[in-house]
Amino acid sequence: MGKLLLILCTIVSMVSVALAKDINVIMKNGEMITGQYIGINSSVIFLKNSGGKVSQIKMDTVSDIFDAETGAKFATGIKEPAEAGSIKNQGDLDTNTSTAHSKKTMLFVFGALHSGLVTYLPCKPLEGTYVPGSAYTIGAQPYDFAWGAGFGIEYKLTNSLAVCFDGSLNSWEKLLAKENGYGVGAWVWEQSGYNDAIIGPFSMDTTYYMDTTTMKLGGKYFASEGTLQPWIGASLGIYRWRATIGNREEGKKYSEISSDLSFAPSFQIGIDFVFDEFAIRIFSDYGTATANPYFENLFRDGWTFETSGGEHVEGPFKFGLALGMSI
C-alpha cells in the first residue's frame, strides 16, 4: 500500500511538472505567445504569464504549440483545469489579451476638430461705424472652422509598442469680409498709403483658408492590455499646403499660393476601446508645421500680403474619434 501511494505521488509530481512547462503558442497570424501551460479544452488553451495572470487563447487562432525549452511539439490532452475555472469565477481571467493582441494590424478611419489661431489677417468684417483715418490693428483670431479626416494603419511589434502611418486632409478658414460688406484692418491702412483702413464692398463672402495634405509616420506605446488601452505616441509629419483668399463655395479667388513639402513633429495621446474585431479610439494630437504665405496683388494691383510670423498649416490642437478594424 505504501509503495502504491509513493508511485501515485511520483506520477502526480511528474504531471505537475509537465503542466508547469513553458510553451510557445504560434498564432495563425505569425505571432508567438509564451507562457506557462495550465490547461486546455476544445475551444481555448490557458496560459499563465510571469506576473501570474491567466489568459485564454482561442484554439481556432492557434497554428501550433511547442515546448519552450526543448522546441519539441507540445502534446496537450487534459480538459479545462479547475484553476482556470476558479479564476474566471473570481473575475480575474484576462479574456482579452489573446484576442485583441493577436490582431497585429489595424486599419483606422478618423475625423477631428481643430483648434488654433490665425496670427495675421489682411482685414476683418467691418461691424458698426468706421472712423475715417483710423488704423484697425487685428490681433490673432480663432479659426471660424477647422477640421481634418483621414485613415491610419498600425502594426503592433509587441503588445505595448506599435508603428503607425496615417494620411489626412485638413482645412481651416477665417472670414475676412461679408458679401456687400467691407473689410477693415491695419494692413489695408498700410497698403493704401495710410489713408484709409477700409476696403470694399465685396461681391462675395471672402475668407482666408488653408488646405493641407498630411502624412505621418510614428509610434505608439500602449500602457495596458485588455478592453481599455490608454496610449501615447509621437510622429514626424510631412505637409503640403495651399493658402487661398476667396470664396471656396463659389470657386472664386483673389489670390492663392501653394507650398513645397514641410516637416514637423507632433505628439498624441488617447484611449482605445478594443473589442473582438474592431476598436473605437478617442484621441488628441498636438503639433503641426508652420507656413509663411505670400499673396501678391491682393484686392488691388501692387498690394502684397505676407504672414511673416508664420501660420499653422492645420490646427495645432486636434480632438478626434477613430474607428478601427483588424486586417
Interval 161-215: pLDDT, tens: 999 999 999 999 999 999 999 999 999 999 999 888 999 999 999 999 999 999 9
Comparing 54-63, 68-77, 199-208, 318-327, the range with the smallest average pLDDT is 68-77
pLDDT bin (cut points 50, 70, 90) of residue 245 is: very high
Residue 20's pLDDT is what? 58
Mean per-residue pLDDT for 241-249?
96
| C-alpha–C-alpha distance, residues 215 and 179, integer Å | 36
Q: Which CATH number, 2.40.160.20, 2.120.10.30, 2.30.30.90, 3.40.50.10490, labels domain 105-326? A: 2.40.160.20
> How many DSSP H helices and E strands does the chain contain?
4, 23
Strand 145-156 and strand 161-177: the pairing is: antiparallel
Residue 32's pLDDT is what? 83
pTM of the model: 0.69
Strand, coil or helix: 294: strand
Mean per-residue pLDDT for 6-18?
43
Longest Cα–Cα distance in the chain: 117
Burial 145-178 (b: 16+ CB within 10 A, else e): ebbbebebebebeebeebebebebebbbbbbbbb
Cα 211 to Cα 27, 98, 150, 284, 314: the distances in Å are: 44, 42, 14, 20, 8
One-letter amino acid of 80:
E
What is the Cα Rg of the chain in Å?
31
Q: Measured in Å, how far apart are the chain's first and last C-alpha atoms?
A: 60
Cα 34 to Cα 80, 86, 248: the distances in Å are: 19, 22, 57
Those residues whose C-beta lies under 8 Å from the C-beta of residue 276, and which sit 6 or more positions away, are 99, 100
**Ramachandran angles phi, psi of 295, nearest 5°:** -110, 125
Residue 33 pairs in a beta bridge with 25
Closest by CA to 122, choosing from 216, 191, 68, is 191
Q: What is the percent of the chain where pLDDT is above 70?
A: 83
CB 126 within 8 A of CB 198: yes
- Taking residue 227's Cβ as centre, other Cβ atoms within 10 Å add up to 14
Q: Which of the pair, 5 or 264, is modelled with greater confidence?
A: 264
pLDDT bin (cut points 50, 70, 90) of residue 61 is: confident
Q: Is the pLDDT of residue 280 over 90?
A: yes
Strand, coil or helix: 262: strand
Domain-wise residue ranges, the chain: 18-101, 105-326
- Taking residue 183's Cβ as centre, other Cβ atoms within 10 Å add up to 25
Comparing 61-65, 110-114, 132-136, the range with the smallest average pLDDT is 132-136
Strand, coil or helix: 220: strand
Q: Show the CA angle centred on residue 202, arms to residues 201 and 207, nearest 5°.
A: 140
| C-alpha–C-alpha distance, residues 86 and 69, integer Å | 28
Residue 162 pairs in a beta bridge with 156, 220
Question: The C-alpha cell of 78 is what?
Answer: 487534459
**Ramachandran angles phi, psi of 23, nearest 5°:** -130, 160
| C-alpha–C-alpha distance, residues 122 and 115, integer Å | 21
Q: Which of the pair, 138 or 210, is modelled with greater confidence?
A: 210
Q: Which CATH number, 3.40.50.300, 1.10.3720.10, 2.30.30.100, 3.30.1330.10, labels domain 18-101? A: 2.30.30.100
| Average pLDDT value over all residues in the chain | 84
Per residue in 83-123, pLDDT tens? 444 434 333 444 444 444 446 899 999 999 999 999 999 99
